[in-house]
Amino acid sequence: MRRFRVFELILIIVPLLLIGHLIVRRKYGIMTTLFVYRHQTPLQKRIELIGFIVFCVSIIFIGLFLNYLAVYIFFFAYSSAFELFRTYMEYKYEKESKHYIINGYWSIGYFILLLVCLFLISVSDIQ
């Protein structure tokens, strides 16, 4: 029963985030490309690669030993931190492209999804 609540909330929040993404992109005149990301520095590329490897190994162990809600929490926490790091790097090295605004927007969106999952854990503990 609780698993369906998580899916339902994600299915409600993600389309709202996508609509907000389009509005922010249009408001600031940001041109985005699909599935292509250019790293700002080689250091950023290495940090993201190491972070992704740690994420993959961690998600396997979390999935094996904890419940599904912990996997969602870890995923949204990682995604929020990952996008926040990209936001910082783009703001630092490519401020004029304004693409950091989109990454910051998604970082906030993933953080909201993380809070929703944490709220569901607190509600399930009460019941």
Give the pLDDT confidence of 57-112 residue by residue, as tens digits. 999 999 898 877 788 889 999 999 999 999 999 899 988 888 889 989 999 999 99
Residue 3: pLDDT band (50, 70, 90) is low
Confidence of residue 127 (pLDDT cuts 50, 70, 90): very low
pLDDT band at 117 (very low <50, low <70, confident <90, very high): confident
In this prediction, residue 123 carries a pLDDT of 61
Q: Which of 65, 84, 79 is nearest to 114 (CA)?
A: 79
Q: Which of 20, 33, 49, 8 is nearest to 99 (CA)?
A: 33
- The residue among 97 and 53 whose pLDDT is bigger is 53
Task: Report the share of the chain in percent with pLDDT over 90.
Answer: 46
CA 18, CA 16: separation in Å to the nearest integer?
5
Torsion of CA 51, 56, 62, 67, to 10 degrees: 120
pLDDT higher at 18 or 7: 18
What's the farthest any 2 CA atoms get from each other in the chain?
Answer: 50
Q: What is the pLDDT of residue 126?
A: 45
